[in-house]
Structure formats: structure tokens, C-alpha cells
Structure 1
Amino acid sequence: MPPVYTIKTVSIILLVTLPLEILGATSSKEHIREKRAWIIDSFIIEEENPGPFPYVLGNVEVERDYKVGFSLRGKGVDQEPRGILSIDKTSGVISVHGKVDYEQHKKLKLVFEAKNMSNMKVDTMLGVEITISDINDHAPTFQMDLYKSSLEESTSQGKNVIVLFAIDSDAPNSPNSTFDYKIVSVEPKTPNVEFHIIKDGIISFKGCLDYEKASKYTILVEAKDRGDVIQLSSTCTVVVDIIDKNNHLPTFIGRTGTGRVHEREFGKPILRLQAEDRDAKNTPAWRAKYIIHGDKDNHFKIETDPKTNEGVLSVQKPLDFEAGAERNLTISLENEDPYFSCAVKRKTKTGLWQVVTADGRSGTGLIPEPRTEKVTIIVEDTNDPPVFTHKVKNVMVEEDVAVGHPLEQFTAVDLDIKFTNAFEYSKGDDPDNWVTVDPKTGQISTAKFLDRESPYVVNNTYIITLFAISNGETPMTATATLTIHVKDTNDNLPHLEFQMIDMCLSDRATFANLTAIDLDEAPYGGPFRFELLGDVKNKWHLDPNYGTTVNLVKANTVYAGQHKLMMKIYDMQGVFSIQNLTVTVCECSVMPNCQVRSSTSTQLGSGGIGIMIGALLLLMGFILLVFLLSCRRKQSGIYIDPGSGEYLIPSNIETPGTDCQVPSGLLQVEKDKMEANHILSAEIPIQMAQQRIFSIQAPDQELFDYEPCVYTCEEDVVTDPQLDAISIPESDFVPDMLLELGPQFHTLATICKPTPTAH
């Protein structure tokens, strides 16, 4: 038979006995023995048992023929909560030494062992589980002691006010942890509203909120559990603030101010209206909103004084006495917040109460009409300025109209009833002095030829202003505007944008862009037709010859240098101008810009100035030498009679050329230049030298002999790209051609013509 185990407890019951297997046994006999050895026992300890301690929980009796020792280990012994349990090593009695908190330790698991004292081998091992029985030692606890919420006065009944939350730490799903909410009290108690709470902790209300009756409610809420022996509870406080809304209409209670205003006066308050409102001050439900009725032309405005809530009436657009001496207005009074109302009709025990509501926001219910006030404003007459019958006029005129051409006439009138004044017209803004104004009639006429291309004309319009000024004690002025729309005429000729261009020498034909400009608009401007004048065949041509910009094409036969071209440019109406075009042709590989070459070649450096000074000094030395020679000897001219039959034909080729002759008058010119430049101020030596030179000359004004010059042979041709090529056509030379050289040589012939010398 297996051994017998007896378990004795003090208020405990052995609940379950279960066999346990030890896995990995080596024999069936040993396996059976181990099955009998493992037994699980359960004990129950009441939470927070007050003692006295220690008290006996129970014991285990093992019937053996040999002496057995008992031991206990696990939670409550050598694990937390330590020192709560102990076992008598000899008798196996388990004792309890202190309180156990269910919320901290719901079960204590231990191991019970019985050892053979002779060999200290484990004879019996039990798994012991001690259950802590819960007692109602925790009350429900709210998350906060004080809750705060707010409700608008216009909130409809049935809306949630706030949600409360509480917890109970006792055993879940037990009466000790199950609790209920309850509203203990509400302060203040008002007949118009009732608060209630449901099991989920939601507080709601039924009825109508009224800020004037209660602006704040303090609600005491209790949470109480359902413990069998004792019920525990806790409370929290809920404060509900009521936000005032517009459930009272404002009313007029008075006015201050004269209600009088001078015509043309604006911006000053003329009347203040007082209002009363029973809603909370300085809230949108209290602030008044004044609305003007009967002001068709928007002459008036009314604003609310934020401090006093008064309506301040003022003039925002000047009034005219002649249009009416009185203005009758109606002022209505509202609030910034829409009006609402709520009244309890009948209270019910279940469900929501019966209430009557009106809401201006949604337009439901019966909404009363706003209060109104009649206001009369007196307009006082003052001296008015003249008034133009037409303040703005427009006139269209061609730009080439004659001076004095009438443009437009303005008329001003005086609308005053009490004050009558004469007035005259004068010109205001006229930036280019285009017009004159008749001071009596207001007639505007042109004072000069109009020019559409003037910088003062913007978008073909020229604007002037006209004044009508009264002659009263305080002169009053009216202003009118005349807009002159200038119609374009063909008064401008097309012209080249640039009259000097550069082109490069090339073996092929090259071109340059030519652009024409005409200040006139279409149809008097471009596109243009271009035409080259003069002998340009096989040298220059245009491609194309129509448009705003055309190409000037240069043939490869055109030599380097400066070329003068004439060009005729036609506008769209056939009106043309003849333009001079200077084309400079140069070798671009040497100098990229022909103008740079020209400017460089025309600059006079310090070396050139030195050469000029040296030449002047040499001339002075020559004159001095001639003077010295004239003092030593005198020589008369030899007159040679050509005799009969020795005349040469007058072909102007047998005698030295006149272009090389130095006429007698030339020295006088040089003398004058030297006197002007202060090179030689002594007059007597110059006169003596001049007489000496005259005496040297023969009666026929023959020249001194000179050495012949050496010229380049015809075969040795040296070209310079800076010099123009001179092409001399080979033709038969007729000497008589030199008798008529044409007007081109008149100046040269005058310079070279000999002047007779008086002896």
C-alpha cells in the first residue's frame, strides 16, 4: 500500500490532489514511486487578516517508519513577501506571520519537501499553492479630485457636459470592484436645469441654461462599490462654467449730440446713441451693433464705442445743403452674437424636458424684431465752390491743327442759394503749354502746334486741368479735366537710325544692316521702301529694299576708304526723305573697327607737335637769312623780251605748273598767321624781308630753279590699304581740255594765281 498523507488546516479545505510525472525516469518501478511522491496542495489566506500572529495555516503528516524532516521554500518564505510563512521541521505545521495584500500578491507558490533524516534524501516533495482571498479594502478612485468644464448658455439639453473616470483596485469582476456613480449635490439649485449621470460616468443636463440665474454650477459626484460586507466610496467635484450668450435684446436709452453738420464737413461725430443690454458686459452677447437705414448715398457711418457700447454717428461723405437741409435716418440695434432663447414648458421624470427655443443662428423659433430709433440730421448751408457741369471731357484733334483752334468749352455753375459769387476760369496742369483758357467763357484753344511725339503725350493722350475760382472772401475752386486725344499725321519723315557704318574689305560681296525710323504711327510710318541714288551700279545695292531693316550689299570691287552714299526712304504714304550714308571700308584683319583706325590716324601726338614747332623755327630762320642777304646787295630783275616768233602756245604745259608757284600774296597770309599766333611780333623785319623777296622775283614771276624729284617707276607699284585707289582711264589727252577746268578748280586757281608786284 502507498503511504498515507494527512493534511490538517485551520479554515482551509484540501481542494485538489493531482499526480505529477517526472519525465526521464529510467525504470517503471522508479516511475511509479515518483508519481506517488508529487502532490499539489492548496491553502487560502484571507487578505489583510489582522491575526494575532503567528497562526496555524495547516500541516502535512507523512507516515513513515523512519524519522522525516520537513522544509518549505518559495514566495512568502525566502521570496517576496519574505517571512510571511514558516513550517515546523518536525511536525510539518505551516504558520502565518503577517498580513498579505491581495493587490500585490494574489497567489503564493511554494515547494514542500520531506527528507529521510537518516540519509537526508528527499522522500516526499509537494507543490503548495496558497491563494489570497480578496476583501473590500479599496474604494473607487477618480482620476482627478476636481474636474472643470464649460457650457455655452445656448447649449441644447441632452448634450454631454463632461465624462468622469474612476477605478477600483479590488479583485476584478467582484462586488468589491464594481461601483456606481451618483450625483450627491448641485450648487446652486435652479429650477431651469437638472444634471444627471449615467453608469459610464457621463454627466448631462436637461432643461435650459440661464447665465443670469447661475453663471457656474458645482457638482459633487460619488463613486461607491458593491462590497458584500462593506461598501467603500469616494467623491470628486465638477465645476461647470456657463458662458453667456445673447438671450437679451439691447434697447435704446438715450442720445447726446447736436445732430447738426455743415455741408462738405465730414469725419466728425455728430450724435451718440446710448443702449442697454442685460447680457454679460464686454462679451459678444453684450456688444451692440448699430445699423443705418435710409442712407441711400452712404453719407453716414455709425461705429460702436468699445468702452461705453454707444453708437457714434458721423458723416463719411460730405453733404450738400442744396440737395436737402435735413436727413432722416433709422438706426436699428442688435448684438454681435445672434439672439437665442430657451424656456422650460414642462418637466418630466424620464427623458428630456419639454422646452421652447428660438435660435437666430439657424433661424428657428420665434425671434423678436430688433429695437429701432429715428434720427434727423440738420445740414447747415455754407459757401459752396463752383461746380462744373462736366468734370471730365475728351476731345480728338489732329496734331497739326492751327494755333488758336478751339478744342472744348467748360461751363461751371454756382449752386449756392444764400451765397452767390462770380468766378473765372484758369488753366491748371498743362505741362507743355499747349492750350490757352478764356477766363470768362472757359473756352480752351490751342496755343501752339500740337505734337503727338511730345514726351508729354502718353498713349496718344495729353491731359490738362482747368480751374473755376470764385471771388468770395474765401475763394473756392472747382477742377475739371480735359483729355486731348492726339490723332497722328504724317509730319515726320523716315530717317536712318545710324548714318555712319563700317564694312570690311572682302573678296566676296558683304552686307550691313540699315534700319529706318519714323516717329509716326501706322499708316504713316513703316515698313519703308529704300532706294540708292547716284552711281552705285556694280558697287552697292539693297537686298531687300523693303521693310524696317534692309541689307546694304557691297560688291568686292569697292575699294577701301570712306564712301558717301545717298539714299531715299519712303514711308507707307509715299513721303520720303533723302539720307546721307557714310560707309567706311577697311581691312578688318588689321583693325577690327574702321572708326578706331580713323580716330587713331587723326590723333596728333607729341611728335607731331614737335615737328610743327620745328617747321616754324625753320621758317623764321629762312626769313632772317633773306633779310640779311637783302642788306648786302641789291639785284634787279632781268626782263627778257621774247621777241618775234618765240611765243609758245598757251597750253599751260610748257611752263612750270602754277600749282607749284609761290604767289606774292602768300607771304602776307603767313605774316598774318604769325602775328595771330604771336610767333613773330616784329613787323618791320618782316616787311623788309617781303620787299627783298619781291625784288628777287623776275618780272614774269618766274620761280627759282629746283632739283628734279625722283618718282617711282610705273612697274614699281606700292599699295596702301588706307589710301583710295585712283583709277585714271587711258584716253587721248587734248590740251584744250585744260582751258575749262570747271568750278571745282576755282579755289585752287585763285590761290595759285600770281599777284603783280609793284616796283
Structure 2
Amino acid sequence: MGPAGPRLVLGLLVLSLCCEACKKVTFRVPSELEADTLVGRVDLKECLQSAEVISSSDGNFKILEDGSVYTTSALSLSAEKKTFTILLKDIQEQVQKKIHVSLVEEENKTQAQKTRHARDTVLKRTKRRWGPIPSVMIENSLGPFPLQIQQVQSDTAQNYTIYYSARGPGIDQDPKGLFYIERETGNIFATRAVDREQYPSFQIICFATTPDGYSPEMPLVHTIRIEDDNDNAPYFTQDLFEFCVPENSKPGVVVGKVTAEDRDEPYTLHTTLKYRIVSQNPPITPAFSLHGDTGVISVLLPQLDRELVPSYTLLVEVRDMAGQPFGLCTTGTVVVKIEDTNDNAPSFKQIQVFFFCYSKYETRVEENRVQVEILRVSVVDLDEPGSPGSGAVYEIIRGNDDQAFEITTDKNTNEGILCVVKGLDYENAKQRILVIGVNNEAPYLLAPHSQQLSQSTCSVTVHVLDVDEGPVFKPCLLRLDVKECEDIGTAIGRYVAEDPETGNSEGIRYRIPPGQCNWINIDDKSGEVRTVKVLDRDIGEMRRGQCNITVLAIDRNGKTGTGTIQVCIVPGNKNFPRIAQTDYIMCRDRKPICLTAQDGDEAPYSTPFVYRITDRNLASMWKITQHNDNSVYLSPKGDIPFGVYDIPVSVMDNGGKVGENNIRVNLCDCVTPTECDGTTRQLGGGNVTLGLWAILAMILGSLLLLLILITICGCCGRGVMHRQVTDDCANHNLIISNTEAPGEEVMDHNIIPLQNTCDQGGYGVKTGDQQTFEMVKGRGHTLESVKGGGHQTLGSVKEGGGQPMMDTCRYSYSEWHNFTHPRLGEDSCLICLCTGDSMPWITLVRNRIMRKKENVVHSHQKNGGQKMLEIVVSSFVHCKAHFE
């Protein structure tokens, strides 16, 4: 157990001691009790001497300070005892005790008659007939003391001996001993004078008890009110009131408000205050008025002029008793400052010459000098110094069309400073005449009954002094645009200076000071500018694309002039457009591929780009569709075979530069690119290469194919057709018939073997007048009809007329259906053969197309019971999708 353990145990012991119960009390009462009925009295001090809080656990009973127990409402006791608890607390000592009270119903009337007569009388409900009206005592009363102020009497005094007592503020509480009550008569006396501002009223509790200690009356709460005497003069809430008002304010404008207070009784004449202005300094025409009831100060004088009187001091008075002469009064001080407004315009100081005054100035300056002060002018303003109303703002009204001069304000002296910001040329003008005007920072406010003032102006004559000048470049800044990647030594311009005295360029030498960007040089005699390196915006400091070069011009006398050449590199067409991504995977949905090219050049040598497939054969299989200025869509034309295609694509920018790119597209039999393992056979562009294992697989597949064809030809009979079918169609596909009996699709008894012609090389079987499809070797994979018997080929069905066509190894389902519909019968057998990745797969569907809702193709024996191959096809819909 930590240090807190003993403390916790000690606290529990203290609480257990403090909450112990005192002596139990039992009262015998009637079964019916009315409200405000005395039940009995408990000796509280015997239980806890210093009880500060007295409470009852039952709201139907209240406990007075003397221990009297009264009912708060009418009660009806049951046959059992009614109990409640009186809780006593001493907050300072943190002690509390309990007194358990039990009420027992009287047994019968005979026993009730044996109780004391006084007790019977006490148990009867008494009326509050002994309460007098509140007492009144005048504040600061002169006595004599003790001064009787009231008497309290109980009606029960007619029958019993009653003793009176009182408790509360002024008796046994602060201020103690101010009042007392006579025990036998109930007279209340005051022992000394009282200040109402300190004690406006007293509430004491009066008790009426019999000699044996019982209370036949409820305790009386008696109020002693102290009547106010006008013994306090009003006073202002501030020692000094300060207000501001703009000059030229109209009469009635509120300046401010003075406030005063009085400690006497509110809402009486003792606190009814009146205000007035006693005096004004300076003692001229009254400028302000003071409202007597509210204390609001307003403008009275029609015109307040700060320049004449900057402030006023008012002596104000406040008096109670509604301002009557016998009321008490106090005075206070109010200072009203007049705020400045810009009602005075600035004017230039006059220069007196003999008997005349002029606003004219003269000054001198050497030609070509810049940023030099040549003159200061000053003004007079009657407004408040340092305020926006007196701050001068100067401007040059005339004579400064070339912006060679500038005038500013010195904030310390309010003077105008005239400076030359561009060099003056003596040869052009020997003197300049300027007109300068002045205004204020704040707008001008017209004073009442005054006329509008015009702007004050002055004239300044500037004499230009001639000096020997150096050469001058014209223009002072020469911009030269140089195309990017120009050859070294290319002449890009000429920059010359001239003597301002003679106007020619003879004898002037040119030089570029060191420490600058070394992009160009200048001929020291002719001023011709040439490049000294290839300007490439992608190298070093040239990436900024601009460089300022200072050039010196030196005449025969050694005078020097400077100029600036700004060399700007104009973007050129130096980069080829390139396609960022070149490898793509395209799944069976054949969603177009977005090709995007990039070019490091800027406009107009970048976008728009022009895309083109440079291989003619691949251009017949793939197409490009424009997307925006720098990207296109690449998509196949028709149903080309799966495989990897290397497509050469050229991109030409807007400047004519062509970039060659090779786009590799893996046309994969997949749903999502992640399913493609990269082993799809390559069929693009005729550049088909086969590995050793692929060639071996083809040879073995061919031998197996011949064996199967011999077997099939022996059992099936009449029609043989060579047709390419995709791997998905040939491997585990289900052909579903929606008819219970053999449909019209199988009325013709034909056997249609399909020969794979997807890889290079072709296979053909020709018997009698049977029709065949033969794949002709070559990049086009052409299908053409074979003459014989006038029979129709699948190529003729697709193209019409049996013309040769480009074989993409895939036919639509409708084409397949049109060809096989008249040739399928109940005893026919269908062979689907397609070679993928050099692996032969054979699908044989015998007998008839599946009946409605059948999922399996059953094997069938024919011609000597030969057992045919049995292949389970997964979904006819899946096969249909591959045909299309």
C-alpha cells in the first residue's frame, strides 16, 4: 500500500465518525395533519452545536433554526410509523450528523386528553396574525437612541405567556448590536444611526415562544428598510472627458456624452441629475450645447475653424434633486479637440523682386546628367502640419513630354524635389520651361460660405549647359534575333554609334568588355556583329534564350559611349519527333492503341504531327486515325490473325523533320493484357520466323493430319473443304442446336474437312468433284477457289464470284453458316482444324448438330463400326464469337 493508503483509511474513519446519528426523537400526532402545523421541537445544538445547514429528508417537513418541525402540506398518517431524518452539516469542520424523527399516531381521544393543555393548543393550526408591516428607519437618524422603530405581537399572547426573540443581520450577525427586541413586549429598537448606502435593508427572524420553549406561531421574517437621505452628491465617472469633432461640422452634430452617478437611492429625486455648461475656454461665442438630462454635447457654433481655435475646454456641472438649487452638485472638465480637414489649399511661396511677388524659379543643369537634383520648391498650407490635409503632392503639368524630369515630395520638409531622370541634349534644346502644380494628399473639402480655390502653380526655367560628349549609340538597346544552331561566324547585324557634335561615326572604335556572355563579337571599325559559337538553347547559359551584351564606343578624344545588344535565340527545328512507347499488347477486343510523339523543339517546329505507316503491306492491314495534334490511334483493318507485328511508323513535325519509329504490337488471344504470356505466333508484315521446334512441330502435325484425313475419308464421304479456323474455335467448343429434331442445317449429308492454312505453306485434299480451299504461300495468304464440279468455295461465298482475296485466317459466323448449311446432314461429320503455335488441333463433330440444350457431342460409329474421335466443345457462343 502506497502513501495514499493510510490517508484513505483515515478519511473513511473520519466520515464514519462524522455521520453518526444523534438521539432519536418521537412525536405523537393526530392521523390528519394540516399544512403549517407544528409537529414538535428538536434540540439541534445538543446534536451539533455549529450546524450551518439544516435539511429534512422528507419534503413534507421543514426544520427551523430553533429546531421547530412544521408540516409543509396536509398529511394523512397510516397505521404504521412515519419516519424521516434531519441532517445537520458543519461545512467548515466537514462534520455532519443525523437525527431520526418518528411520528406515531395517537391511540384514542382519551389518551389525547391526558396530554398537556399547552401541547394541545400548540398542535392546533395557528394563523399568521402577528406580522406587522415592514419597519422604516431614516438614514443618518440623530436619535435619541435607543430608538423604537416597531413592535411585533402574537395573538396567542391573549391566552399564553409569550416571550419574543429575534435573529439575523443587525442582531446576532454583522452589523451586530444594531437592533434588539424586548423579550416581554416585542418592541424593536435601534441603537445607532445607519448608512443606507451600506445597509439598504435588514431582514430579521422574530420568534414567539412559551416559557417551556414551544412555538405557537410560525417564525416571522420582518424587514427593516432604511429610508434614503440625500447625503451623497453626484460625481462624474471620469476626471476628464476628451472628445474630437471635425472642423466645419454642422450644428447638431454629436460631439460626445458626459455621465455621472449618485450613490443615493435610485429612481428618487436624490438621484435625478441635471447637466449644464458652466464656462467655455476660450471665452468666445458658445460653440457647444449640453443636454441637461442625457449629458450629450453637440455642436452649436455654425462654423468651427481649427486654424482659429484648435480646441475648447468646457467646465460642466451635474446636480441632483432634478437640478434644483438646494440639490447637491459636482463639476467636471471636458476638452473638445477640433480635427483638421483639408479646407486650405497649398500655395507656392512667393519670391519678392523689388515691389513684386512672383512664383517663378530658374535653375541650370549640364547636358546628359541623370538622377541629379536641380531645384527645391516649397508651399504654404494652413492645415495641420504632418496631416494628409497639409501633405503636398507635386506634379509637372507642362513641359515634360519626354519624361526627362521628375518631382517628388520630401516628407520631412514638405518641399518638392525636381530631378533630371533622362539626359538633356544641349544641341536639341538649350532651355526647358516647366509648369509645376501642387495638391494635398487628402481631397479638398470646401468650408461653408467659402469659394472654390484654383490649383496653385509655378514656372521653372531649366537652362541646359553644353559639355563635350562621347559617342552615342542609336538605338541605345539593339535586339538581334538569331536562329538556333546557326553556323559560327554568321553575320547577324550591325551596331554603330555617332558623335552628337558632328552626327557621324568617323573615327569611332567598338569593343565588348570582357566578363560577359561570349556569344557574339563586334568588328572594331565597322560595328558588324557575328556569332562566335553555335547558339543552342539546350546548352548551359543559353537555356535562358537571351543575353544582354554591353558594347563600348570610343572616339578620337577618348570619350566613351555605351550601348546594349540583346541577343535572343529563336528556336529552330533541330529535333526529330519520337514516339515514346513502342511496345504494345492488343487483346481480342482489338481496342485501338494511342500513339503519342514527343519533340524537343518549340512552336512552330513541333506539333501538329503527321503519322504514316511506311510499309505498304502493313498499311493494308493497319490504319492510323488522327486523335489530336500530337497523337493518333493505331487499329487493325478487319480480322487479321493473332501475332506480333513490327509496324514502321514515320512522324513528321510541323517543320518538316521526319522521325522513324518501329511499333511492335502483340495481337494476342487474351481478354486482358496480363493474360498474354508473350508466346503468340508472329504473323505480322510477312516477316514470320519459325524456330527449330516450331518447324519440327509442323512436320509432325502434317504427318498426323494426313493419317487423320485418310481415316476420315474412309468413313465420311463426299465433301471436302479446306478452311482455316482459329484455335479457340477448334479447341473445346460447343455447337448448340435449338431444335429437338435435326434442323435444316444438317439435311445435306456431307463431310467437310477443314485444313489449317494459318502458317506458311498450305495443305489441300481433292477428291472427285469435291471443292477445296487452298492456301497459297506468300505474304498475302490468298484463298482461291479450286475448279471442279461447279461447286462453291468458302472464298466465293465470302467474296462473291470466287475471286482471290486476303485471308486473315478468320471468317464470320454467318459466312461459315452459309457455306456449311446445305452440306450438313444427320450422318455427316464436321472436322474443324486450325493450327496455333505450330500445334495441330482437330475438332470432329459427328452425326448432327446438338439437339436443344445438349452440352455434349456423342461419338458415332459408321461404315464397319469405325470409332470416330470425340471432342467436347465448351460453348457454341464462344466459337461464334471467334468466327466473327
TM-score where L is the length of structure 2: 0.45
- Give the match for residue 54 of structure 1: 146
- Give the match for residue 275 of structure 2: 181
In the alignment, structure 1 residue 151 sits paired with structure 2 residue 245: yes
Q: More deviation in 291-300 or 249-258?
A: 249-258
Matching residue within 313, 321, 326 for 2:426: 321
Residue 545 of structure 1 and its aligned partner are, at CA, apart by: 5.1
Residues 1:133 and 1:324: Cα distance change in structure 2 (over 3 Å) = same
In the alignment of these two chains, the number of paired residues is 479
* Cα deviation digits, residues 441-498 of structure 1 (max 9, x gap): 5556x699978799699589898969573534342335364858789799x999xxxx
2: CA distance, partners of 1:143 / 1:262: 69
* 3-state SS of 2:427 partner: helix
5+ long unaligned stretches in structure 2: 1-69, 76-105, 107-111, 113-119, 352-359, 578-596, 616-643, 651-658, 665-884
In the alignment, structure 1 residue 210 sits paired with structure 2 residue 305: yes
Residues 1:134 and 1:326: Cα distance change in structure 2 (over 3 Å) = same
In the alignment, structure 1 residue 379 sits paired with structure 2 residue 471: no
Cα contact 2:240–2:333 (8 A) shared by 1: yes
Residues 1:330 and 1:112: Cα distance change in structure 2 (over 3 Å) = same
Q: Percent identity?
A: 26
Cα contact 2:512–2:521 (8 A) shared by 1: no
* 3-state SS of 2:132 partner: strand
Residues 1:483 and 1:542: Cα distance change in structure 2 (over 3 Å) = farther
Cα contact 2:202–2:225 (8 A) shared by 1: yes
Cα contact 1:67–1:116 (8 A) shared by 2: yes
Matching residue within 348, 362, 365 for 1:261: 365
Larger radius of gyration: 1
- Give the match for residue 278 of structure 1: 382
2: CA distance, partners of 1:190 / 1:178: 31
1: CA distance, partners of 2:171 / 2:227: 19
Cα contact 1:254–1:273 (8 A) shared by 2: no
- Give the match for residue 287 of structure 1: 391
Residues 1:551 and 1:454: Cα distance change in structure 2 (over 3 Å) = closer
2: CA distance, partners of 1:455 / 1:337: 56
- Give the match for residue 316 of structure 2: 221
Give the letter for the 1:225 counterpart: D
Matching residue within 155, 163, 167 for 2:261: 167
Cα contact 1:452–1:460 (8 A) shared by 2: no
Cα contact 1:77–1:83 (8 A) shared by 2: yes
- Give the match for residue 132 of structure 2: 40
- Give the match for residue 82 of structure 1: 176
In the alignment, structure 1 residue 424 sits paired with structure 2 residue 518: no
Cα contact 1:154–1:340 (8 A) shared by 2: no
* 3-state SS of 1:340 partner: coil
2: CA distance, partners of 1:37 / 1:199: 47
2: CA distance, partners of 1:157 / 1:411: 74
Instruction: Summarize the alignment of residues 85-484 of structure 1 with structure 2, pairs less than 5 Å apart.
Output: 85-112=179-206, 127=220, 128-153=222-247, 155-191=249-285, 193-197=287-291, 199-206=293-300, 207-226=302-321, 231-253=327-349, 259-294=363-398, 295-343=400-448, 356=449, 366-389=451-474, 392=478, 394=480, 408-409=493-494, 412-416=497-501, 422-426=506-510, 428=512, 437=523, 439=525, 442=527, 469-479=553-563, 481=565
2: CA distance, partners of 1:39 / 1:526: 115
* 3-state SS of 2:270 partner: coil
Cα contact 1:37–1:123 (8 A) shared by 2: no
Instruction: Summarize the alignment of residues 491-506 of structure 1 with structure 2, pairs less than 5 Å apart.
Output: none
Cα contact 2:573–2:605 (8 A) shared by 1: no
* Cα deviation digits, residues 175-219 of structure 1 (max 9, x gap): 222222223333223437324235333222233332233223222
2: CA distance, partners of 1:273 / 1:416: 34
Residue 424 of structure 1 and its aligned partner are, at CA, apart by: 2.9
* 3-state SS of 2:271 partner: coil
Instruction: Summarize the alignment of residues 664-683 of structure 1 with structure 2, pairs less than 5 Å apart.
Output: none
* 3-state SS of 1:332 partner: strand
Cα contact 1:37–1:124 (8 A) shared by 2: no
* 3-state SS of 1:290 partner: strand
- Give the match for residue 3 of structure 1: none
Cα contact 2:404–2:420 (8 A) shared by 1: yes
Residue 114 of structure 1 and its aligned partner are, at CA, apart by: 5.5
* 3-state SS of 1:322 partner: coil
Residue 374 of structure 1 and its aligned partner are, at CA, apart by: 0.8
* 3-state SS of 2:126 partner: helix
Residue 305 of structure 1 and its aligned partner are, at CA, apart by: 2.7
5+ long unaligned stretches in structure 1: 1-19, 344-355, 358-365, 495-514, 532-540, 554-759
Instruction: Summarize the alignment of residues 578-593 of structure 1 with structure 2, pairs less than 5 Å apart.
Output: none
* 3-state SS of 2:349 partner: strand
2: CA distance, partners of 1:104 / 1:324: 92
Q: More deviation in 236-245 or 29-38?
A: 29-38
Give the letter for the 2:341 counterpart: K
Give the letter for the 1:270 counterpart: I
1: CA distance, partners of 2:176 / 2:330: 33
Residue 292 of structure 1 and its aligned partner are, at CA, apart by: 1.4
Residues 1:392 and 1:64: Cα distance change in structure 2 (over 3 Å) = closer
1: CA distance, partners of 2:171 / 2:569: 115
- Give the match for residue 50 of structure 2: none
Residues 1:93 and 1:323: Cα distance change in structure 2 (over 3 Å) = same
2: CA distance, partners of 1:148 / 1:324: 61
2: CA distance, partners of 1:181 / 1:175: 15
Cα contact 2:614–2:648 (8 A) shared by 1: yes
* 3-state SS of 1:323 partner: coil
Residues 1:422 and 1:76: Cα distance change in structure 2 (over 3 Å) = same
Give the letter for the 2:411 counterpart: P
Residue 382 of structure 1 and its aligned partner are, at CA, apart by: 2.1
Residues 1:30 and 1:328: Cα distance change in structure 2 (over 3 Å) = same
2: CA distance, partners of 1:484 / 1:125: 111
- Give the match for residue 616 of structure 1: none
Give the letter for the 2:417 counterpart: V
Cα contact 2:373–2:418 (8 A) shared by 1: yes
2: CA distance, partners of 1:37 / 1:433: 121
Cα contact 2:313–2:333 (8 A) shared by 1: yes
2: CA distance, partners of 1:377 / 1:455: 52
Residues 1:30 and 1:144: Cα distance change in structure 2 (over 3 Å) = same
2: CA distance, partners of 1:267 / 1:21: 104
- Give the match for residue 723 of structure 1: none
* 3-state SS of 2:376 partner: strand
Residue 81 of structure 1 and its aligned partner are, at CA, apart by: 3.4
Cα contact 1:424–1:468 (8 A) shared by 2: no
Residue 129 of structure 1 and its aligned partner are, at CA, apart by: 3.8
- Give the match for residue 669 of structure 1: none
Cα contact 2:363–2:461 (8 A) shared by 1: yes
Q: CA RMSD in A?
A: 5.2
